[in-house]
Chains A and B, each alone.
Chain A
């Protein structure tokens, strides 16, 4: 069983479109995250949710809107896609918000905006 899953794995779309990425974890974790990994492999947190509540919101354009319908799911909707949004987006989860817990990552969604 996949612990953290994301769909789709690949997403190719044109500038100006709106797209969503879905994430699900079956680990029973309370906390979920979205990360962006750029072409140089630099990894940066975007959002973090704990029990469906937003707790971390980094400096991310308003075009990005996360939604957590329940603590096992965290989706990412992106409006008006731009070329600079091209990246690999990773979902992750951890047991809770404690500093001592490691994170479990999904396989990533490679977004290409043309």
Chain B
């Protein structure tokens, strides 16, 4: 079965500093990887995805993610954090079990301090 792991429950970063939210995956076959963000009392919003092609994927709000096949990682990054980036971030992988379903990681809470 496919799975994703987010090793950090929480990441703290100062505004203006670069941020990284880590994700590792375990899949059989080609991975279909996603990042979503959840603000308080809201639904998840899609940030970016890796399907194929360039290992560096650019997404919404200045976020990017690097797909690393050898390390089975798909870390989310942003060069300069904003206080408004504070939210819950989910890494996800698509798994086929008679139909494609999304397996979400446990989530990483990002706190950006002014």
Contact = CB atoms under 8 A, between A and B. Distances in A.
B100 interface: yes
B37 to A, nearest CB: 11
Interface in B6-35: 32, 34
Summarize B's interface: helix, strand, loop or mixed: strand
Contacts of A98: 100
Interface residues of A, number: 26
B98 A56 contact: yes
Contacts, number: 61
Interface residues of B, number: 25
B97 A56 contact: yes
Interface in B91-108: 94, 96-102, 104, 106-107
Interface in A30-48: 33, 40-45, 48
A104 B101 contact: no
Contact of B43 (A41, A44, A50, A105): A105
Given A40-B106, A41-B107, 18 more contacts: A4-B43, A43-B90, A56-B98, A90-B43, A97-B99, A99-B51, A99-B96, A100-B51, A100-B94, A102-B46, A105-B36, A105-B43, A105-B44, A105-B45, A106-B43, A107-B42, A107-B43, A108-B42
